Every structure is written in structure tokens, then in C-alpha cells.
Amino acid sequence: MPSKYPVLPTEEVIRRLRTFGFAVVSQKGSHRKYSDGKHTCIVPMHDEVRKGTLQSILEQAIVSLEAFMRAGK
């Protein structure tokens, strides 16, 4: 069964997270920490975010995939 999570460029993931109020808190190596004041998520600063990594980011941020995908439109 194919995953419903897409592979996205990192900048696209960050842009969409910002629509939910997330901002950079800190960075360690190639990973940035984003927070909206209540929730924190870690985003790897690679060329693209893979499906499982995106799923983990959205779980940390408490954002549904549907809402996240609508934020890009």
C-alpha cells in the first residue's frame, strides 16, 4: 500500500509550517527546531523531506496531513 505522504523539498515544508505559526527556535548541525509556542518539531535541512520524515514532523507539530497539504495552495 503506497504512502499518502509526499516527498517535498525542505523549503516547501518550512513554508507550510510557517502558515501554522511555526518559527525557527534553534539549529544544531543540519537540523532546525521549529516551534509555535505549544509544539516543537525538528526539520532536517536536506534537499528534500522523505515520506516517513514528513509524517514524523507533522506528528510532532500536531498538524494533519490534509491541513498541511491545503496550506500549500
Residue 1 pLDDT > 60:
no
> pTM here?
0.92
Please name the residue ranges forming H helices in the chain.
10-18, 51-61, 65-70
List Cβ neighbours of 59 (8 Å cut-off, separation of 6 or more).
none
pLDDT single digits (tens) 12-51: 999 999 999 999 999 999 999 999 999 999 999 999 999 9
For the chain, list the domains and their CATH numbers: 8-70 (3.30.920.30)
